[in-house]
């Protein structure tokens, strides 16, 4: 019996792939050590000392499963946002929640709308459940809200994905425009509003929680992976109506949250003073990255995230050469995947010692490229 005959026809048709090539794989494949890990939009500033202490204390309880209802974390988040815990679902980062949303909505052949060049992990999940991706290009390095809306209506799509602020370009829309877009969608279409970078965005870009909480066709995604510095802990949450939030209980892994990760998230949420400090440090790092880019004849794009997209003024081949050249110096960065976005490189905010390495290597790489 062929090994592939054990799988569904859909699974057999899919490539074995990883949406992102990690720095660890680059180190293995290129035999190069990563000295500055500034490509994955992690927080090089790390979590708060109070969070590290909570992790140490929780480590002794790793022999126990976490609460399958995630009651305490949902309660803490509910108090933080001024809503009911029943409006919140917990998952393994935004990535895990996206997979569960797709599982809830998508069947083979279901049309799903997103931006061409947007977050690839969402596309990965859609394809994994047999969905049919329909995309609209970015407009002026922003996700095109009118284009997304038109495509939803054309395809009668039950699911649309939109990130604000955006990855990979760092662009954003004001809250009023986000709300207008959400209200214009058909009632039959669920909006996945990915707000992974909301803590680093201007206040004017993020609709209040209460402004959307009663909309049954909107799910908001939040994470502890970015500004809170817990990417490796994998803690995310969804905010939605009672029906949407509780729908996750139909299909989620109820014992999927590590106990240590939950303790870390609880401590991180409590330490808002540290979060405010980190957001300032991220803003300073964005400004420094922008300065380094300008000093080398490149153009940083405005960013509301913990990274800066930098226009290299040429094509994808040139941008890829910069990415590879920087890695020769131990500096790991990334770039968008499709035209015209892939004329850019993308550099994550980080402490000064890591940006020093970027500042030193970039002119050497550009000089070598001629």
The string of pLDDT tens digits covering residues 136-148 is 999 999 999 999 9
DSSP-assigned letter for residue 51: H
- Is residue 73 within 8 A of residue 266, CB to CB? The reply is yes
Our measurement of the distance from residue 176's CA atom to the centroid of its chain's CA atoms, rounded to an integer in Å, reads 22
Looking at CATH, the fold of the domain delimited by 49-270 is given as: 3.40.640
Q: What span, in angstroms and rounded, lies between the C-alpha atoms of 35 and 75?
A: 40
Answer whether 335's CB lies under 8 Å from 348's CB. Answer: no
Q: What pTM, to 2 d.p., does this model score?
A: 0.95
Quote the mean pLDDT of the chain: 96
273: Cβ contacts below 8 Å, ≥ 6 apart: none
In CATH terms, are 3-46+273-369 and 49-270 the same topology?
A: no
Question: Could you count the other beta carbons within 10 Å of the beta carbon of residue 304?
Answer: 21
Question: Which is more confident, 125 or 370?
Answer: 125
pLDDT tens digits, 40-90: 999 999 999 999 999 999 999 999 999 999 999 999 999 999 999 999 999
The matching CATH number, chosen from 3.30.70.20, 3.30.420.40, 3.90.1150.10, 3.40.50.880, for 3-46+273-369 is: 3.90.1150.10
- Mean pLDDT, rounded, for 215-241: 97
What is the pLDDT at residue 66? 96
Mean pLDDT (whole number) for 189-203: 98
With 0-12 / 13-18 / 19 or more C-beta atoms within 10 angstroms meaning exposed / middle / buried, residue 221 is: buried
Confidence (pLDDT) at 337: 94
| Tens-digit pLDDT profile for residues 257-286 | 999 999 999 999 999 999 999 999 999 999
- DSSP assignment, residue 119? -
Please answer whether residues 42 and 255 qualify as being in contact, where contact means their C-beta atoms are separated by less than 8 angstroms.
no
Instruction: List the beta strands (DSSP E) in the chain.
Output: 36-37, 88-91, 111-115, 132-136, 159-163, 190-194, 218-223, 236-239, 299-300, 307-311, 331-332, 344-348
Lowest mean pLDDT: which of 130-134, 149-153, 210-214, 237-241? 210-214
Confidence (pLDDT) at 318: 98
Over residues 10-28, the pLDDT tens digits come to 988 898 888 788 899 989 9
Average pLDDT over every residue of 207-221 = 93
Token pair listed for 364: 């050497």
Structural domain spans, the chain? 3-46+273-369, 49-270
Report residue 1's pLDDT band, with 50, 70 and 90 as the boundaries: very low
Residue among 148, 140, 138, 204 at smallest CA distance from 176: 204
Residue 209 neighbours by CB under 8 Å, 6+ apart: 81, 82, 83, 220, 239
Q: What's the pLDDT at 84?
A: 96
| Residue bearing tokens 């370009």 | 169
pLDDT(360) > 80: yes
Per-residue pLDDT at 359 exceeds 70: yes
What distance in Å separates the CA atoms of residue 194 and residue 201, rounded to the nearest whole number?
13
Q: What is the DSSP letter of 301?
A: P
Is the distance from CB of 184 to CB of 66 less than 8 angstroms? no
């Amino acid at each position: 019996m062929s090994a592939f005959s054990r799988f569904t026809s859909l699974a057999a048709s899919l490539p074995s792939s990883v949406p992102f090539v990690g720095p660890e794989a680059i180190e293995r494949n290129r035999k190069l050590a990563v000295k500055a890990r500034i490509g994955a939009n992690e927080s090089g500033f790390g979590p708060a000392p109070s969070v590290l202490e909570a992790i140490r204390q929780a480590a002794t309880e790793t022999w126990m499963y976490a609460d399958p209802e995630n009651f305490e974390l949902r309660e803490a988040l509910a108090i933080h946002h001024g809503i009911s815990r029943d409006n919140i679902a917990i998952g393994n980062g935004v990535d895990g929640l996206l997979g569960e949303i797709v599982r809830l909505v998508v069947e083979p052949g279901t049309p799903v709308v997103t931006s061409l060049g947007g977050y690839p992990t969402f596309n990965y999940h859609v394809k994994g459940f047999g969905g049919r991706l329909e995309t609209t290009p970015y407009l002026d390095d922003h996700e095109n809200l009118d284009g997304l809306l038109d495509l939803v209506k054309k395809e009668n799509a039950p699911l649309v994905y939109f990130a604000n602020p955006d990855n990979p370009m760092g662009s954003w829309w004001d809250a009023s425009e986000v709300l207008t877009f959400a209200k214009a969608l058909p009632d039959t279409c669920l909006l996945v509003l990915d707000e992974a970078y909301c803590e680093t965005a201007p206040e004017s870009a993020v609709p209040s929680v209460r402004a959307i909480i009663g909309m049954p066709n909107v799910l908001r995604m939040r994470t502890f992976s970015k500004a809170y510095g817990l990417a490796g802990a994998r803690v995310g949450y969804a905010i939605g109506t009672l029906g949407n939030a509780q729908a996750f209980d139909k299909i989620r892994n109820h014992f999927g949250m590590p106990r240590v990760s939950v303790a870390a998230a609880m401590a991180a949420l409590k330490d808002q003073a540290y979060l405010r400090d980190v957001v300032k440090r991220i803003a300073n790092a964005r400004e420094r990255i922008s300065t380094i880019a300008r000093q080398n004849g490149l153009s940083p794009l405005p960013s509301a995230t913990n990274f800066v997209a930098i226009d290299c003024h040429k094509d994808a081949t040139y941008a890829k050469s910069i990415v590879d050249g920087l890695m020769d110096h131990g500096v790991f960065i990334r770039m968008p995947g499709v035209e015209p976005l892939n004329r850019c490189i993308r550099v994550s905010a980080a402490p000064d010692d890591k940006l020093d390495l970027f500042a030193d290597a970039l002119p050497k790489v550009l000089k070598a490229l001629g």
